[in-house]
């Protein structure tokens, strides 16, 4: 008796099933080293993504690329970051004390050569957050003045680097945020703007330091202090640098070649709107 003829789709589906069963069985039999486990895990994730992509293509009904979840901390951080970007820019030199915790951004508008790609643009040179302690009180004075104090610390550090920086060349934006949402907002700001003074960029680490103790002053000078000498606690004569100025400037050039520079608030807003669009 002749067997039932399989369609091309049935034959392919059966082959895919059998091949996957064979591969899964082989993978479970392996005695993996930590490195081998990591390698295999990475490839399995790639294959799973490819299969999910094929599944979406086979479905005759379109599906969104993601489900918008207003309660997701990253979503809240997204909108807090947008709200910060909408705040007026103020001169750092004229900073006054104010109540509140939250997030902030520093902007450069001077003539320091290595920073020209972002000078006088809406791309911050540094972003950060200030957290005092969690509170649900509606009275903003209960938050203290940690946001203003943090900006004040940055102002003093820039003033100490007077040979290369001028505090008149810096603006800031600040946003007082209900405690607990500063972290997601700062994370989104760093992902979006890739600010060169933030340690996450691994170029000019050191600006955000509060000050080293006597026991740690023997450490190598931070890249930020190499480029902008002036902070006494950061080390003096004879201290070695983590990076040479030449290396730092080369890394900055590469960074700007591979990063988006937002020249105006309109550019920033357009990027936020684009990020909210769901693709099919």
10-68 pLDDT tens trace: 888 888 889 989 988 888 888 888 888 888 888 888 888 888 888 878 888 877 777 87
- What band does 202 get if pLDDT is binned at 50, 70 and 90? very high
> What DSSP character marks residue 227?
H
Q: What does the pLDDT average to over 80-84?
A: 93
Q: Is the pLDDT of residue 2 over 90?
A: no
This prediction's pTM: 0.76
Instruction: Please give the residue that has the higher pLDDT: either 71 or 21.
Output: 21
Taking a C-beta distance cutoff of 8 angstroms, is the pair 143, 160 a contact? no
Rounded CA-CA distance 137/70 in Å is 23
Tracing tokens 């080390």 back to the chain, one arrives at 235
Sign of CA dihedral 80, 83, 85, 87: negative
Instruction: Please give the residue that has the higher pLDDT: either 170 or 65.
Output: 170
Taking a C-beta distance cutoff of 8 angstroms, is the pair 127, 179 a contact? no
Predicted pLDDT at 42? 87
- How high does pLDDT run on average in the chain? 88
Taking a C-beta distance cutoff of 8 angstroms, is the pair 104, 73 a contact? no
Backbone angles phi, psi at 215, to 5 degrees: -75, -15
Instruction: Please give the residue that has the higher pLDDT: either 167 or 4.
Output: 167
Q: Is the pLDDT of residue 261 over 70?
A: yes
- In the numeric block, which tokens belong to residue 151? 């900006």
Predicted pLDDT at 236? 55
- Domain range list for the chain: 73-270
CB atoms inside a 10 Å sphere around CB 161:
19
């Amino acid at each position: 008796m002749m067997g039932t003829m399989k369609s091309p789709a049935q034959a392919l589906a059966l082959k895919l099933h059998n091949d996957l069963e064979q591969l899964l069985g082989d993978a479970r039999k392996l005695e993996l080293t930590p490195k081998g486990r990591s390698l295999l895990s990475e490839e399995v994730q790639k294959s799973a993504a490819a299969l999910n992509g094929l599944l979406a293509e086979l479905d005759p009904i379109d599906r969104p690329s993601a489900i918008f979840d207003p309660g997701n901390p990253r979503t809240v951080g997204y909108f807090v970051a947008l709200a910060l970007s909408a705040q007026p820019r103020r001169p750092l030199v004229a900073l006054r004390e104010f109540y509140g915790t939250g997030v902030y951004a520093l902007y450069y508008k001077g003539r320091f050569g290595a920073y020209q790609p972002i000078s006088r643009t809406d791309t911050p040179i540094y972003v950060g957050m200030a957290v005092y302690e969690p509170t649900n009180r509606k009275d903003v004075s209960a938050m203290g003045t940690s946001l203003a104090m943090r900006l004040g610390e940055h102002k003093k550090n820039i003033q100490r680097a007077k040979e290369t920086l001028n505090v008149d060349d810096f603006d800031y934006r600040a946003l007082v945020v209900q405690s607990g949402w500063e972290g997601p907002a700062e994370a989104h700001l760093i992902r979006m703007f890739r600010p060169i003074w933030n340690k996450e960029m691994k170029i000019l680490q050191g600006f955000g330091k509060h000050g080293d103790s006597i026991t740690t002053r023997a450490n190598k000078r931070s890249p930020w202090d190499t480029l902008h000498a002036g902070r006494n606690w950061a080390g003096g004569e004879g201290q070695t640098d983590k990076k040479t100025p030449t290396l730092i400037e080369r890394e900055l050039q590469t960074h700007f070649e591979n990063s988006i520079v937002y020249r105006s608030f309109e550019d920033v807003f357009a990027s936020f709107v684009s990020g909210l669009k769901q693709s099919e």
